[in-house]
A = this chain, B = another copy of it.
Amino acid sequence: RAESWSFLDTAESNFRPLVVIELAKGAKEETIEWFTKRIVDRKADGGAQLLIKPLVTENGHENIYLVGASHLRLLLGAETVGLVKECNDNSMRTFTYSSRKTFKDFAEDNDNFLTMAECQYIIKHELENLRAKNEKMIPGYPQAKLYPGKSIVRRLLTSGILVQIFPLHDREELKKLRHSWYGRVKIGYQPLDDIRCYFGETIALYFGFLEYFTFALIPMAVIGIPYYVFAWEDYDKYVMFATFNLLWSTVILEVWKRICAILTYRWGTLLMKRQFEEPRPGFHGVLGINPVTGREEPVYSSIKKQLRIYLVSLPFVCLCLYFSLYVMMIYFDLEQWALDYHRENESTFSSLMLYVPSIIYAVVIEIMNRIYRYAAEFLTSWENHRLESSYQNHLILKVLVFNFLNCFASLFYIAFVLFDMKLLRQSLATLLITSQILNQFAESLLPYWLQKRHNKRMKKRMCSQKTDTDLSLADQINMEKEMGTYLGTFDDYLELFLQFGYVSLFSCVYPLAAVFAVLNNITEIYSDALKMCRVYKRPFAEPTANIGVWQLAFETMSVISVVTNCVLIGMSPQVDALFPDSKMDLVLTVALVEHLLLAIKFIMAFVIPDKPRDIQMKLAKLEFESLEALKQQ
A interface residues (Cβ-Cβ under 8 A, vs B): 80, 273, 275-276, 291-293, 563, 583-584, 587-588, 591, 595, 617, 620-621, 623-624, 627, 631
Contact = CB atoms under 8 A, between A and B. Distances in A.
Given A563-B595, A587-B584, A595-B563, A275 B620 contact: no
Contacts of A631: 80
20 contacts: A80-B631, A273-B627, A275-B627, A276-B623, A276-B624, A276-B627, A291-B617, A291-B621, A292-B620, A292-B621, A292-B624, A293-B621, A563-B595, A583-B583, A583-B584, A584-B584, A584-B587, A587-B587, A587-B588, A591-B591
A624 B291 CA distance: 11
Contacts of A587: 584, 587-588, 591
A543 to B, nearest CB: 15
Q: Which 5 A-B pairs have the closest CB atoms?
A: A587-B587, A292-B620, A292-B621, A276-B627, A583-B584
Contacts of A620: 292
Nearest to A582: B583
Nearest to A621: B292
A96 to B, nearest CB: 9
Copies in the complex: 2
A273 B630 CA distance: 11
Contacts of A627: 273, 275-276
A366 B624 CA distance: 43
Contacts of A621: 291-293
Nearest to A293: B624
Given A292-B620, A293-B621, 17 more contacts: A80-B631, A273-B627, A275-B627, A276-B623, A276-B624, A276-B627, A291-B617, A291-B621, A292-B617, A292-B621, A292-B624, A563-B595, A583-B583, A584-B587, A587-B587, A587-B588, A587-B591
A291 B623 CA distance: 13
A621 B276 CA distance: 10
A627 B80 CA distance: 10
A596 to B, nearest CB: 12
Nearest to A618: B292
A623 to B, nearest CB: 7
Nearest to A598: B598
A455 B627 CA distance: 45
Nearest to A620: B292
Contacts of A80: 631
A536 B292 CA distance: 45
Contacts of A623: 276
A552 to B, nearest CB: 9
Contacts of A293: 621, 624
A587 B291 CA distance: 54
Nearest to A591: B591
A108 B617 CA distance: 43
Contacts of A292: 617, 620-621, 624
Contacts of A273: 627
A24 B583 CA distance: 72
A294 to B, nearest CB: 8
A513 to B, nearest CB: 24
Contacts of A275: 627
Contacts of A584: 583-584, 587
A132 to B, nearest CB: 18
Nearest to A588: B587
Contacts of A617: 291-292
Nearest to A94: B630
A621 to B, nearest CB: 5
A95 B627 CA distance: 15
Choose among A275, A583, A591, A595 the residue with the greatest number of B CB atoms under 10 Å from its CB.
Answer: A591
A349 to B, nearest CB: 42
A563 B596 CA distance: 12
A583 to B, nearest CB: 5
Contacts of A588: 587
A531 to B, nearest CB: 34
A351 to B, nearest CB: 36
Nearest to A552: B606
A295 to B, nearest CB: 10
Contacts of A276: 623-624, 627
A95 B293 CA distance: 22
A189 B4 CA distance: 75
A477 B438 CA distance: 82
A80 B292 CA distance: 28
A292 B588 CA distance: 51
A393 to B, nearest CB: 11
A591 to B, nearest CB: 5
A149 to B, nearest CB: 12
A584 B590 CA distance: 13
A583 B273 CA distance: 58
Nearest to A96: B633
A273 to B, nearest CB: 8
Nearest to A590: B591
A587 B592 CA distance: 12
User: Which residue, A583, A623, A624, has most C-beta atoms of chain B within 10 A?
Assistant: A624
A619 B45 CA distance: 31
